[in-house]
Every structure is written in C-alpha cells, then in structure tokens.
C-alpha cells in the first residue's frame, strides 16, 4: 500500500512538472539502501545523465544522509558538464526531508538551480 500511495503522489507531481530541453527534470529514487538521481528531458524522452549510490563502493561506509549529499553533488557536476544549470526538481512522491532534502542541498551547493 505504501508503494501505491507514493506512485499516486508521483503522478500528481508529474502532472505539474515537465522536463524540457531548457529545464530538464531532476528525478530521484530512494530505496532502503541506495539513492539515485537522473536528469531527464521529457520532450525528447531521454535520460541526459544519472548517478547512483549502488555503483559506488566508497559510499557504502558513509551514513545515508552523507551519501545523498554526495550523490546530489555528483549529479550537479554531471549536469554542469553537459551544460545544464537549471532543472525542475521531481521528488517522486517522497516527502522533502531527510535524504531527499540532502540530495537537493548537495545539488544546489554545487551550482544547480531549481
């Protein structure tokens, strides 16, 4: 039932947030163990770049909030390398606190605007 509620909230959010070529969508996914972020251009239906904590062994020894902060910094750096400075933040039905907020703060810290 939790997953169904999150999916409903995500669809409600997605009605308002669209990723364009000028301002792509920064979408996150949070599991119990890992967190990942993707920058998506919905107009072309393409993932521009993505970062995940699952593919990095160095992050395994850190706390979850520290990992989320690091993933936020990495996704912002990857976006800046592709020439993206502004994004629309899609929290994917999760509440904006804890790891979701840490990821957003890490992205803003590195220079991404939303």
Inter-helix orientation angle 99-110/64-81, to 10°: 40
Strands of the sheet with 46-52, listed across from one edge: 46-52, 35-41, 25-30, 88-90
Residue 3's pLDDT band, with cuts at 50, 70 and 90, is: confident
pLDDT in tens, 25-66: 999 999 999 999 999 999 999 999 999 999 888 788 899 999
Total domains, the chain: 1
Please give the DSSP secondary-structure letter assigned to residue 53.
S
**pTM for the whole structure:** 0.91
The whole domain housing 52 covers 2-110
Please state, in angstroms and rounded to a whole number, the distance separating the CA atoms of residues 18 and 30: 20
- Residue of 32, 98, 39 whose CA lies nearest to 69: 98
Domain of residue 68, CATH code: 3.30.420.100
Q: What is the pLDDT of residue 7?
A: 94
Per DSSP, the three-state class of 98 is coil
């Amino acid at each position: 039932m939790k997953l169904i509620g999150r999916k409903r909230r995500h669809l409600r959010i997605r009605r308002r947030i669209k990723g364009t070529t000028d301002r792509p969508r920064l979408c996150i996914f949070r599991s119990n163990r890992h967190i990942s972020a993707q920058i998506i251009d919905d107009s072309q239906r393409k993932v521009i770049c993505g970062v995940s904590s699952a593919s990095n062994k160095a992050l395994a020894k850190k706390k979850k909030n520290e990992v989320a902060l690091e993933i936020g910094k990495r996704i912002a750096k990857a976006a800046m390398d592709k020439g993206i400075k502004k994004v629309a933040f899609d929290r994917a039905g999760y509440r904006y606190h804890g790891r979701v907020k840490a990821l957003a703060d890490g992205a803003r810290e590195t220079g991404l605007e939303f």
